Amino acid sequence: MFQQNMLFGSCTVFDSVQIGAHLQAVGFGPKAVARAVSWGRHQAVAAEVWDVLDFVGLAGDADAPATSLPHGKKRLLGLAITLASRPRVLLLDEPLTGMNAEETSAMLALIGTLRRDRGTTFVLVEHNMEAVMSLCDRICVLHFGRRLAYGSPAEVAEDPAVIDAYLGEGTNGAFGL
């Protein structure tokens, strides 16, 4: 999932997620278009799309143009497109970018469900430390492109180098949590 909303401009929400599902079904590349999906597979893909839309809370927006959605729903659509391809590892680049508190909470709940209930492995790049601390088992802190710290949320939060580089002296080391 990209940091910026990368949507299919002329597609509906449903069609956008369907593209992600078809990538999983037929692959990606120059010959993918030539591999037509059978009608039965098309119906199965449609059912998968509805499942993903239900999961992220966009089923009611299925017929809306993707670009007409408000920002928070566009972020959810980006996640839905990604999920439709059934990734083994989910790469999330700033999934909370530009979201308000309510949208952030909803996205965190979805990511937490993916991790906890569906066993999805993900790599998260995020500046929202509260989100990182609540979602991640292991955290790697980079500072000017170099690894500054690696460990559990508790270990990273108490790491003197992290505190010095990102929080300054005199903080409690817990990223304000």
The model's pLDDT over 96-147, given as tens digits with 9 standing for 90+, comes to 988 999 999 999 999 989 888 888 888 988 888 888 888 888 999 988 889 9
Q: How many CB atoms lie within 10 A of CB 1?
A: 21
Mind listing the pLDDT tens digit for each residue in 50-62?
999 999 999 999 9
β-strand pairing of 121-125 with 139-143: unpaired
Average pLDDT over residues 139-163: 91
Place of tokens 């119906």: 43
User: Is residue 53, in this structure, part of any structural domain at all?
Assistant: yes
Cα 136 to the center of its chain, rounded Å: 13
Place of tokens 């597979």: 41
Q: Which domain holds residue 32?
A: 13-136
User: Is residue 177, in this structure, part of any structural domain at all?
Assistant: no
Average pLDDT over residues 28-45: 54
User: Is residue 143, in this structure, part of any structural domain at all?
Assistant: no
Say whether 141 sits in a helix, a strand or coil. Answer: strand
The Cα–Cα gap between 110 and 1 comes to 14
User: Is residue 39, in this structure, part of any structural domain at all?
Assistant: yes
CB neighbour list of residue 7: distance below 8 Å, 6 or more residues apart: 16, 66, 67, 74, 77, 78
Residue of higher predicted confidence among 34 and 13: 13
User: Is residue 154, in this structure, part of any structural domain at all?
Assistant: no
Number of domains in the chain: 1
Query: Please, where are the H alpha helices in the chain?
Result: 13-26, 39-56, 71-84, 101-116, 129-135, 153-157, 160-162
Percent of the chain's residues with pLDDT above 70: 78
Which CATH number does the domain housing residue 117 bear?
3.40.50.300
Residue of higher predicted confidence among 4 and 93: 93
User: Is residue 121, in this structure, part of any structural domain at all?
Assistant: yes
Mind listing the pLDDT tens digit for each residue in 61-94?
999 999 999 999 999 999 999 899 888 888 898 8
Question: pLDDT at residue 2 above 80?
Answer: no
- Which pLDDT score, from 0 to 100, does residue 128 have? 85
- Which pLDDT score, from 0 to 100, does residue 36 have? 46
Question: What's the Cα-to-Cα distance from 157 to each of 97, 129, 163, rounded to whole Å?
Answer: 22, 10, 7
User: Is residue 145, in this structure, part of any structural domain at all?
Assistant: no
* Token code pair at residue 4: 């910026």
Percent of the chain's residues with pLDDT above 90: 38
Residue of higher predicted confidence among 88 and 4: 88
Q: Are 158 and 173 in contact (CB under 8 A)?
A: yes
User: Is residue 19, in this structure, part of any structural domain at all?
Assistant: yes
- Whole-prediction pTM: 0.76
Say whether 93 sits in a helix, a strand or coil. Answer: strand
